[in-house]
Amino acid sequence: MSVIPISELNDRARDVFRLVVENYLGTGLPVGSRTISKMASLSLSPASIRNVMQDLEELGLLAAPHTSAGRMPTETGLRLFVDGMMQAAEPSAEEQRAIEAGIAESGPIEEALSAATATLSGLSACAGIVMVPKREPVLRQFGFVPLNARQALAVLVGQDGSVENRVLDLPEGVSPVALNEAANFMSARFGGLTLREAGEALTREMEAERTVLDHTARALIARGLAIWSHDADDRPVLIVRGQSHLLDDGVAADLERARQLLEQLEGKQEILDLLRGALAGSATKIFIGSENKLFSLSGSSVIAAPYRGADGRVVGVVGVIGPTRLNYARVIPMVDFTAQTLSRLMR
């Protein structure tokens, strides 16, 4: 989309354009010349304002949704406003505390990311999204709790304090003593290793026949490592929270648009492809409406900011999906602050 430079607008056109956009983003309704003329900051007659609005419409910055005198910004106009005119407002102290508190109360990193997404969704009234970094947890302790003769609860404790449980089918003839022996062996030999490293270590020991475990215990350990390794490969790498915020009065009135938007959110792989574009940069990215093919039909905007790991490299993206008329001046800094908070958490 080609956007004219802001310098090509004279002062009067800039003032009228800014007021139209700000009013539209606040109400979601087309803005008329009489509304603009009543503002103390502008000393122009309704007729003069109508002429300016007509000029802005011819430039492709405003559009009239119907035959009334009201105007609303086009996607080109919104891009010009966001890039060249918007006065961003930092999150309030209360909003900052809410974001930090939601993240700090969580345990494992996935829970912190989920909490950050839910908090961001609630504060912005948009759907919150976060790309979870693929990682290999470092192991600390294993345990097996018998459930019945053929099943046990396999417990994995990570170095970061995370605890994961899986129901494991047992080889025939496994006793509680064998379960305890296998758990002690795994904790002693594999503590401090990732799942991949633990699997490789077990394979080496079995091939060299250095392990003192019997066949049943070895099978149990192999199953325990396999179930966690399989789950790690299949972990969801995208968390979406607050989809209901997208079904506001404006969207709900257009059922087809609402259906398309929810279908797009279900296609998580496509959203991931979009967010990966934000991984390459260091700044917050804003996609408005048809600038992004994924949300062109539903007329949605995406604001996404990268966050960093302990080594300073970008490891994920956090952001929101909302209507094109969202409050950019408030939401963009909020997304950026959430990304900064997550980066501090990852250190």
User: For residue range 273-293, what is the model confidence (pLDDT) as tens digits?
Assistant: 778 777 777 788 999 988 877
Whether residue 132 is predicted with pLDDT greater than 70 in this model: the reply is: yes
For residue 46, CA distances in Å to 38, 42, 67, 260 come to: 9, 11, 17, 39
More confident residue, 178 or 246: 178
- Taking only the tens place, the pLDDT of each residue in 167-195 is 888 877 788 888 888 888 888 888 888 87
Q: How many other CB atoms are there within 10 angstroms of residue 344's CB atom?
A: 11
Give residue 297's pLDDT band: very low, low, confident or very high (50, 70, 90).
low
Greatest mean pLDDT among 22-26, 67-71, 162-166 lies in 22-26
More confident residue, 249 or 344: 344
Q: Which residue has the tokens 């490891």?
A: 315
Give residue 93's pLDDT band: very low, low, confident or very high (50, 70, 90).
very high
Q: How many other CB atoms are there within 10 angstroms of residue 121's CB atom?
A: 23
Whether residue 322 is predicted with pLDDT greater than 80 in this model: the reply is: yes
Query: Residue 42: beta bridge partners?
Result: none
For 4, the 3-state DSSP assignment is coil
φ/ψ of 4, rounded to 5, equals -70, 150
Tokens at 272, concatenated = 């991931």
Please tell me the predicted confidence (pLDDT) of residue 298. Answer: 67
CA 60, 61, 67 angle in degrees (round to 5)? 80
Q: Of 77-86, 162-171, 318-327, which gets the smallest average pLDDT?
A: 162-171
Give residue 296's pLDDT band: very low, low, confident or very high (50, 70, 90).
low
More confident residue, 85 or 164: 85
Give percent of the chain above pLDDT 90: 25
Give percent of the chain above pLDDT 70: 82
CA 331, 334, 338 angle in degrees (round to 5)? 140
More confident residue, 159 or 306: 306
The residue count of the chain comes to 347
Average pLDDT over residues 68-86: 89
Mean pLDDT of the chain: 81
Give residue 205's pLDDT band: very low, low, confident or very high (50, 70, 90).
confident
More confident residue, 236 or 87: 87
More confident residue, 149 or 206: 149
Q: How far apart are CA 139 and CA 189, in angstroms?
A: 10
Average pLDDT over residues 5-26: 89
Please tell me the predicted confidence (pLDDT) of residue 6. Answer: 77
